[in-house]
A and B are shown apart, each in its own frame.
Chain A
């Protein structure tokens, strides 16, 4: 593979962006190049992976001549920015004003733009990376950010007048100074001579779907120099182990059925590593033929593991009714968990509504008609967003000129909009929680809840209109905060990045005054009983994360084994709750 000077690795959390960035950097350094690795991922464990404490300036990596790295936390950058903006007004403006200002800087948009700001500083300023042959980023700006920054009205409206402007750019001051720098950065991203974007995915349907979405978005923006990196490709070898054979087969199927656009990209493949990718030795093994695997000689006793889903189900059932929400990043199995709990509650004779946003919806389809007291409702995020978008444009778009309309349309593509649109849809479903159980595979973030809360107060007290706030939404907000009515289950995997992301979800809910009821650790190889040496080794690696969740993070924890048979249909789902 011939490398451009700048490389971006992008993909959803936990697919191995940091690992592949480091492995690529290390391989280039070993070939005699001077390489800088930059992490702007708030969940980054770059320090740990490279075995060197890092800061905000390039730091030489011990044991790898020519390799340097630096770590930028965009959340810290966003936080610093918030402090700079808010602190001077403490004691001057009323406390309520300070609180409402702070909430504006707590959304995903602020962090996203803060991250882009960091890219721009390094990419747009040649002096910043002078002397390096390659600069590798373990994250990439999202399509939403890039589109916003290329909209002329995003800049002119925001800067020139104070009557409009893009929501997501709002949190950055001194924008005018940044404009040229940002424009140069966006231009460089689409220059194939200097920049490659590597889409990182696992051999899993959801990760490949996400990679395809990103590919499509970037291609529309004129970014064409893309590669696909398939990480964690597992080969079972000669074995009779059910778990190993099922895992190999599932990966093979996912790759065989990958979206056409993705399959045409140049592709690199990296093997499954049983001990994670911490340390230079492990990183090297990503690029070298694997030596024969030698299992750890020391005996392993996991100690007491958290229980499965049954005790959790018993406690949920005892309430007799209410709302159960599973929450987590994509690919951790929150839909499966929601469906399993719904089917099990229905099997115990309760009236249950399962509301899912699962885009495949196969889960819902396979269960319909199998249990008479279970009703499956599907929320289609795309349809909800489209409906919301049409509604907004019909109500509000008519009075706008072309640039104003473009601005509004881009606001409607922000991650907040999807969350709001979905939130409205399931607010309708939650009404049913008074009489029976309602199980949802999605939950609003703390940021959304606080925004809606503020919006409700705003509408009620300021505009004094009754019509604008749907009743379902009005009732939902207090219900979400009522621990005897709503129980939030955080779903995660026993791996570094998913646990870190789940921790951040929980913190965000905390800001809205909501404590998760329990955490569910899904797809555990340790709990699967596999005897395959590679997978068993990987199971041991999970132990530290299981401990962290059950001892430090969760009020209660359920551990769910990796399933050799895909858990769909009533029978498959009930197997999870046994």
Chain B
């Protein structure tokens, strides 16, 4: 079974409503992870504020954090880091996991005009 791990920054709430602007990415991302799990992937999501042991136990993750806290969130597939600093979209997750993209399309990782995707 493929394993997907997400190492999130310490967040007050996983829905992001505590930020100065709603972050639809966070809410959509949670829904996307649910979809990924339904495709038979084992999903583990760790919040630095709540599950620091998961971070400390992974030297590659600690190394990334030492390079800068902006590396969070870190996403790993079967123990290999596949992205840093972004919550991937459903299509991107599907690609990293080798799944057929499907279901409801989701927001991309950032606003369209920023051009980072």
Contact = CB atoms under 8 A, between A and B. Distances in A.
A404 B31 contact: yes
A526 to B, nearest CB: 42
Nearest to A453: B20
Contacts of A423: 20
B2 to A, nearest CB: 16
Interface residues of B, number: 54
A164 B31 CA distance: 9
Interface string B9-42: 1111111111111111111101101100100000
A104 B12 contact: yes
Contact residues on A (Cβ < 8 Å of other chain), bracket? 35 or more
B56 interface: yes
A577 interface: no
A163 B70 contact: no
A167 B14 contact: yes
A465 interface: yes
Contacts of A452: 19-20
Interface in A426-478: 451-452, 455-459, 461-470, 473
Given A93-B56, A97-B48, A465-B110, A396 B28 contact: yes
Given A163-B33, A167-B12, A416 B114 contact: no
Interface in B36-90: 37, 43-53, 55-56, 62, 65-66, 69-70, 72, 85-86
B25 to A, nearest CB: 7
A170 B17 contact: no
Contacts of B106: 399
Interface string B89-117: 00000000000000010100111011010
A93 B111 contact: no
Interface stretch (A198-206, A284-292, A405-413): A405-413
B20 A408 contact: no
A408 B13 CA distance: 10
Contacts of A455: 18-20
A89 interface: yes
Contacts of B20: 420, 423-424, 452, 455-456, 469-470, 473
A8 B104 CA distance: 49
Contact of A107 (B12, B19, B26, B31): B12
A463 B18 contact: no
B10 A104 contact: yes
A420 B70 contact: no
B55 A408 contact: no
Given A170-B50, A451-B12, A392 B45 contact: no
Contact of B10 (A101, A166, A400): A101
A465 B15 CA distance: 18
A417 interface: yes
B47 A468 contact: no
A1 interface: no
B17 A101 contact: no
Nearest to B51: A162
A466 B115 CA distance: 11
A92 B62 contact: yes
B12 A395 contact: no
Contact of B12 (A93, A399, A416, A466): A416
B51 to A, nearest CB: 8
Contact of B27 (A388, A399, A457, A461): A399
Given A396-B27, A462-B85, A104 B52 contact: no
Contacts of A96: 65, 69
A165 B14 contact: yes
A167 B48 contact: no
Nearest to B33: A163
Contacts of B45: 161-163
A164 B30 contact: yes
Contacts of A463: 25, 86, 109-110, 114, 116
Interface string A170-202: 110000000000000000000000000000000
B52 A464 contact: no
A440 B43 CA distance: 46
A412 B111 contact: no
A392 B111 CA distance: 16
A48 interface: no
Given A97-B55, A455-B20, A103 B10 contact: yes
A408 B27 contact: yes
Contact of A468 (B11, B13, B104, B111): B111
A467 B114 contact: yes
A170 B47 CA distance: 9
A417 B18 contact: yes
B113 to A, nearest CB: 7
B55 to A, nearest CB: 6
Given A162-B45, A163-B45, A451-B18, A468 B65 contact: no
A63 interface: no
23 contacts: A97-B52, A97-B65, A100-B9, A107-B12, A162-B51, A167-B18, A170-B50, A171-B49, A171-B50, A396-B15, A400-B31, A407-B15, A412-B17, A417-B18, A420-B19, A420-B20, A424-B20, A459-B23, A463-B114, A466-B111, A468-B23, A469-B21, A470-B21
Sorted from nearest, which 7 A-B pairs have the closest CB atoms?
A167-B13, A104-B49, A396-B27, A162-B45, A455-B19, A100-B10, A461-B70
Interface of B: 9-28, 30-31, 33-34, 37, 43-53, 55-56, 62, 65-66, 69-70, 72, 85-86, 104, 106, 109-111, 113-114, 116
Given A161-B43, A463-B25, 20 more contacts: A93-B52, A93-B56, A100-B49, A101-B10, A104-B49, A161-B45, A166-B13, A170-B47, A170-B49, A388-B22, A396-B16, A399-B28, A416-B12, A420-B18, A452-B20, A458-B19, A459-B21, A462-B70, A463-B109, A466-B111
